[in-house]
Amino acid sequence: MTEDHELDVWREQWVRVALPPTEFRRLVQQRIKVQDRHFVLGNLLTAVALGGTLIFGAILSHQASWLGTGWATGVCVLVFVSAGYRLRILRGTWRAETQSIRAFLKLWHRRVLARIRLLRISIYVALGWIIFCAALTGANWATIRLNLMAHPSDWLEVMVASVLMQPVIWFWAAWLRRRKLVELNEVKKLLEEIKK
């Protein structure tokens, strides 16, 4: 049997590498567990929201006018584009490569970066939705005008809800982005500490 001196030297070096302090590891593990729960909960809530939006689109498709079909198509396209983009962005963020603290911190770092990218694209999706709604309304103005004159209070509620929804989405995205940037700085700091 031959001895592998290089392997023996490598093992000695590996044993001499100091592990992070126990208190630090416990703190990081707790933060990672909380972050994992947030990640799973966020994905579940997104799945429920996208499913609810698809159900809303199916209900809209049964409207008598072409407008109902147009809205339903727009809603379904929005859901599938959003879900596809979300899955693409979250690629590589589902599990850690190994069971080490460093691997979990890198996973956390990738998740935070992915979430920031998703928040950035949500603003563009909201703008795209406004443009789609405006184009659909313009194309069907003759039908809408008659319905608007017959039921002005219903249309007023829809317009107020549509106008108020956009700033709420933008402020929520900006608030969540600020939180994620703070979290990104925390992860970077933890990664730097573990490198020491």
Quote the pTM value: 0.72
d(CA 176, CA 134): 28
DSSP 19: P
Query: 21, 42, 23, 34: which is closest to 187 by C-alpha?
Result: 34
Low-confidence ranges of the chain (pLDDT < 70): 1-4, 7-8, 10-20, 60, 63-68, 196
What's the pLDDT at 15? 54
Taking the domains of the chain in order of start, what are their residue ranges?
A: 22-195
What's the pLDDT at 11? 66
Q: What is the pLDDT of residues 31-75, one digit of tens each?
A: 888 888 988 998 899 899 888 888 877 776 776 565 567 777 777
Average pLDDT across the chain, whole number: 81
Q: Where are the alpha helices (DSSP H) in the chain?
A: 5-16, 22-61, 66-89, 101-139, 141-150, 152-195
d(CA 47, CA 41): 10
